[in-house]
Structure 1
Amino acid sequence: MLRSCNLIGEIPASFGFTSIKKLFLNGNNFTGKVPSWILNSEENIDLSYNNFTDTGVTGCHQKNTINLFSSTARVNNSGIVPCLRSSTTCAAGSSHSVHINCGGKVTKVNGTDYDADDSQAGPSTFQYDGNSNWAFSTTGVFLDDDHLDDELAFDNRQVSISGDGAEPYKNARLAPTSLTYYLFCLTNSTYTVKLHFAEIQFNNDQTYSSLGRRIFDVYIQIGFRWAGKGTTSMPQGTIYGPLISAISALDPSRTIVHDGT
């Protein structure tokens, strides 16, 4: 894993290793073209957040295993991520809100519909269904957890959370190292953004599971990154990266009347 190591230059056009299963080069400053050996690979490779001049594809990913989200340079680091320009048309027009039930299915909270976000994704994934006005990018693998496939959309129906608005806190989207949500097709306005968190992996009791600690950074672009702190071997041998239960972005100037259903 060579994530965020300030690596610069171009990736070689050929590579001698043939047994790579996962390669994380995200968060560096690579330039030039993405080589064909990466684009033709069947393995998980993450090149997000770099400064390539040409990725070789029009979208934000290749074969659902190569993450190219925000991998090309943007002028003044502003504007929509270039790879999204070709895949988002805002066909339904601009919206005044986004509500996501992270890691869970479609639900209604206090009269507001929350979109489903229950795809398990993968180690180097950009996820966009083509219909909603949001997408996410996730990176990394949980180390030493003895599972072939990481559980990134986590559901825990046994948590003791009740009352109005409790449903989203029974599930969450997890990420080993970094998780970024990107909202688009929104009208130009000032928004109230709410991020909902609940620790539903560690128990709040006297058992070994209660010893776990999760520490991660939150970025204003709705990005979450493992802070390199917290427990990595209890209650299970792995890294506990970011966790989020729901995201809500709303233009408060818009009056919303619910029908009570």
Structure 2
Amino acid sequence: MKILWASDNNFTGQIPDYIGSWNLTDLRFQGNYFHGPIPSTLSNLVQLTSLRIGDIENGSSSSLAFISKMTSLSTLILRNCRISDSLASIDFSKFLNLTLMDLSFNNITGQVPQTLLNLNSLNYLFLGNNSLSGSLPSSKQPSLRNLDFSYNQLSGNFPSWIRDENLQVNLVANNFVINRSNSVLPLGLECLQRNTTCFLSALVSSPFAVNCGSRRSITGSDNNVYQTDDASLESASYVETQRSRPIWGVSNVGKFMDTSTENYKIYSVRQFQGTLDSELFQDARMSPSSLRYYGIGLENGNYSVMLQFAETGFGDPGSWTSTGRRVFDIYIQGERKEHNFDIMKEAGGKSYTAIKKNYTAHVTKNIVEIHLFWGGKGTCCIPSQGYYGPSISALSVIPSTLLNYKSWS
């Protein structure tokens, strides 16, 4: 046996040691309920060209030592695997065939090694949601066009390559020194750094609402104005709008695997059931990994968060596409509110049906964060290859306590 794919199952316990004795070239274990650590016997799988393990939420942590001899890898995904180690523990200069590496959502410490960014074949590098520190390497290969360093402890000034054209780079939630006079990065990065002081002198408690993935601004039946959200967000990107107060932003990370056509937005002309605002659900954002929305410069207090969803990719019962499942987690202010949330299941097995979820956000640092996270669950290839991950049609954030309320302008 050369290929073992066993993702999106209900396997528990530890990954069996004996798998390390097989002659595999492709191993996939994502979206299960395995416990750590990852067995050290996997280090024997030196012929692997693709390794995808993810979503190990319990058990002991693992190091990176078991991959040190897997130098034939072209795809390496160890996402959300309870990895505790330093990147310096691996000699990445030997990984000459590596095109994509995703070690996000772990506890990887230390600096980003220059040898990693020197790899000629590397196109995608996802290192977000770790504990990396120090400054970014001073150079990188031109082929490396997609880099995620969000949610770390990186600091210092930006290297010159940050100005490269056609570069996708996500640097949200770090400690960088940002000089707006010479920065070519999108506006608002300074407001999406850790311990930001943005707008602290002019805090507001105004509501805001977003028509996710849409170029249309719509006034809903709830009288909220759902603002346009038509920025092109791909594998490692973010945008912040200053069209109105409060300021809001959106950040996306991830690559849709095994497809040459990546769609980060969904559009449908259908009418939707269960809503008076069908137009709100004709557009949606979709992410293969992690999608976050932010409200910035808010007065501290409680806010009511409403998220709106509808499934458009899967058919009604009886059609072959009805076997598709979109499953993801929902976090508000870093707290998981929904685990394995399934839009279509929530709608009673119906597509093109609006679903609304309401939560309370406790704002203590002047920012609200809404996070939709793919945990490896659900189908990957219905109705087409690379169709999975969280999606959202609209959202609103409304003050629920008597703050310094200011109406929409």
Normalising by structure 1, what TM-score? Answer: 0.82
Alignment pair present for 1:204 and 2:306? no
Query: Is it true that 1:136 corresponds to 2:238 in the alignment?
Result: no
Distance in 2 (alpha carbons) for counterparts of 1:39 and 1:183: 35
Query: 1:9 maps to which residue?
Result: 110
- Tell me the residue number matched to 1:76: none
CA spacing shift, 1:41–1:95, aligned 2, 3 Å: farther
Please give the TM-score of this superposition, normalised by the length of structure 2: 0.54
Residues 61, 253 of structure 1: alpha-carbon distance in 2 compared, 3 angstrom cutoff: farther
In the TM superposition, what are the counterparts of 1:149-188 in structure 2 within 5 Å? 150-161=262-273, 163-188=275-300
* Matched residue, 1:35: 137
Is 1:101 paired with 2:211?
A: yes
SS at match of 2:321: helix
8 Å contact from structure 2 (residues 111, 134) kept in 1? yes
Measured after TM superposition, the shift of residue 172 of structure 1 is 0.9
Structure 2: where are the runs of 5+ without partners?
Answer: 1-101, 177-190, 334-369
Match of 2:147 among 35, 41, 45: 45
1:91 Cα shift? 9.8
What are structure 1's unaligned runs of at least 5 residues?
A: 74-79
Count of residue correspondences: 247
Aligned 8 A contact 2:203 2:299 in 1: no
Q: Conserved in 2, the CA contact under 8 Å of 1:55 and 1:72?
A: no
The Cα of 1:40 is off from its aligned counterpart by 8.1
Q: State the 1:161 CA deviation.
A: 3.4
Q: Distance in 2 between matches of 1:252 and 1:2?
A: 38
Structure 1 residues 62 and 204, CA gap change in structure 2 (3 angstroms): farther
Q: Percent same amino acid at aligned positions?
A: 30
Letter in 2 for 1:37: S
In the alignment, is residue 146 of structure 1 matched against residue 252 of structure 2? Answer: no
1:98-134 CA-to-partner distances (Å, cap 9, x unmatched) read 1011111211102321110122311100111333411
State the structure with bigger RCO (CA 8 A, min sep 6), 1 or 2: 1
Q: 2:168 aligns with which of 37, 47, 65?
A: 65
Higher radius of gyration, 1 or 2: 2
| 14-23 vs 36-45, which moves further | 36-45
Q: 1:247 to 1:160 in 2, by over 3 A?
A: closer
Counterpart of 1:235 in structure 2: which amino acid? P
Structure-2 separation of matches of 1:206 and 1:167: 26
What RMSD in Å do the two structures reach over aligned CA positions? 3.2
